[in-house]
Structure 1
Amino acid sequence: MPTGKKHVAVLRDSVQDALRDRVISGQLPPGSRLVERQLAQELDVSRVPVREALRALEREGFVEERPTRGMVVRRLSDDDLETLYQVRSALEEILCRRLVRTLDEQGLDRLQAVVDRTAAAIDSGDSEGAVAANASFHEVLVEEADSRVLASVIEPVAGQIRWLLSQHSDVGTMNAEHQVILAALRDRDADRAIEACRHHLISSRAEASSMSPGKRDLDQESGN
């Protein structure tokens, strides 16, 4: 592939990653308008990689095009939420059963370090750091399962799941639930780990649904 095309592809992927991170972190909440010119200026790139990145994020389910507003950050419907959580629940059962076999002490220590890092961020008032650490707990779980097949199945929905988890405002509760999951995995108790994941799922599902559709629609209607 010519060097020029490689550069364009790398630039597009970089812009895509940057915009996805903004959505997941909440910097660009549901309803936010995504204006090519403005984003290009902010990221110091031309409008072409921004346009391509937005189309890629549309395919991933993070943004959508509206007739009167152009590209906006998508608001997931109740049906979207329900389906994502069903997928996540099914995958986590497979994940937990594998982890009780594959987790070694080093892996358990990695998970404990994430829990400790989250607690430290909460204690210091670093809510953004706590949210990021909470999200990394699930990433480490997948890494420690050590399965290319499982990782490849989870990867397409992982970004949207991180997005949903980032909307969980009670980071302390999330971290406590992670500790329960970790304790079950440490005891090699797959059924208990699955049940802990299901409880965690119900908690985060309720949090994601706590903002009514009308309120979510109005989040950024006033000016972004």
Structure 2
Amino acid sequence: MPTREEHASSLRDSVTQALRARIVAGELPPGTRVVERQLAEQLGVSRVPVREALRSLEREGFVEERATRGMVVRRLDPDDVEMLFAVRESLEAVLAQRLVAVLDDAGLAALDELVGRAEGHADAGRLGLAVAANADFHSALVELARSSVLSSIIEPVSGRMAWLLNQHTDPAAMLAEHRSIVTALRSRDAERTAAVFRAHLATSRDAVRRAGSA
């Protein structure tokens, strides 16, 4: 039977994941004030795990405390954005090499299915679901690399990247590039795959820069 401490830790982690997911999905847009009492009522928990979860999300860079408004969802400044892309670019170079080395036919089929799902949602005008499917595609790339070390390093960055891209990019426009990634991986050509990963990230960076200057 779990101890009281283990139960509290599990509850805090669950609340943290739930709130992070809401932020990444855009349900809590940048600038939104997050109130412990309201969140506790919505999640059916006490205010303690919500308070602890918000502190964790503050350390991760998703929320910040302001003197006049309390805790709010952060807006990333241009320097944050550029550094996030720089870190992601370095990590994706490693990820591309790893995937070429270990990805099998079942993994490629899983990626094809995710791209098809996103395409179906986009064609039907279900943009929220298309965004989620595109995020699942990137999560699957990390999972299919089958490296706990790589996953532990990439996942915190991936969450913030998904949050950023959901705010600024057209999910339908990403589909062709995701298909190009799968095609490159199927070729087993490490150099080609790394180039496709870089091009995809560059497209995303340009979209974010355009949105920031609009």
**Letter matched to residue 69 of structure 2:** R
**What are the within-5 Å matches in structure 2 for residues 208-223 of structure 1?**
208-212=208-212
| SS in structure 2 at match of 1:65 | strand
| SS in structure 1 at match of 2:157 | helix
**Letter matched to residue 105 of structure 2:** E
Give the drift of 1:162.
Answer: 1.8
Query: 1:96 is matched with which residue?
Result: 96
Query: 2:143 is matched with which residue?
Result: 143
**What are the within-5 Å matches in structure 2 for residues 11-22 of structure 1?**
11-22=11-22
Give structure 1 stretches of 5+ with no counterpart: 216-224
**Letter matched to residue 176 of structure 2:** A
Query: 1:198 is matched with which residue?
Result: 198
Give the drift of 1:209.
Answer: 3.0
Q: Deviations over 1:148-177 (max 9, x none)?
A: 221122123221122123224311111111
Q: Deviations over 1:49-76 (max 9, x none)?
A: 1111100000111111111111110111
- Could you tell me whether the CA contact under 8 Å between 1:135 and 1:165 is conserved in 2? no
> TM-score, normalized by length of structure 2?
0.94
Distance 1:92 1:47 in 2: 38
Distance 2:118 2:23 in 1: 21
**What are the within-5 Å matches in structure 2 for residues 1-224 of structure 1?**
3-212=3-212
Give the drift of 1:139.
Answer: 1.1
**Letter matched to residue 51 of structure 1:** R
| SS in structure 2 at match of 1:26 | coil
Distance 1:163 1:67 in 2: 25
Give the drift of 1:84.
Answer: 0.8
| SS in structure 1 at match of 2:59 | helix
Deviates more, 1:115-124 or 1:190-199: 190-199
- Could you tell me whether the CA contact under 8 Å between 2:33 and 2:69 is conserved in 1? yes
- Could you tell me whether the CA contact under 8 Å between 1:167 and 1:207 is conserved in 2? no
- Could you tell me whether the CA contact under 8 Å between 2:169 and 2:204 is conserved in 1? no
- Could you tell me whether the CA contact under 8 Å between 2:13 and 2:53 is conserved in 1? yes
Distance 1:212 1:68 in 2: 25
What's the C-alpha RMSD, in Å, of the aligned pairs?
A: 1.7
Aligned length: 214
Give the drift of 1:212.
Answer: 3.5
Give structure 2 stretches of 5+ with no counterpart: none
Deviates more, 1:124-133 or 1:166-175: 166-175
**Letter matched to residue 122 of structure 2:** I
Distance 1:7 1:145 in 2: 31
Give the drift of 1:3.
Answer: 2.6
Bigger RCO of structures 1 and 2 (CA < 8 A, at least 6 apart) = 1
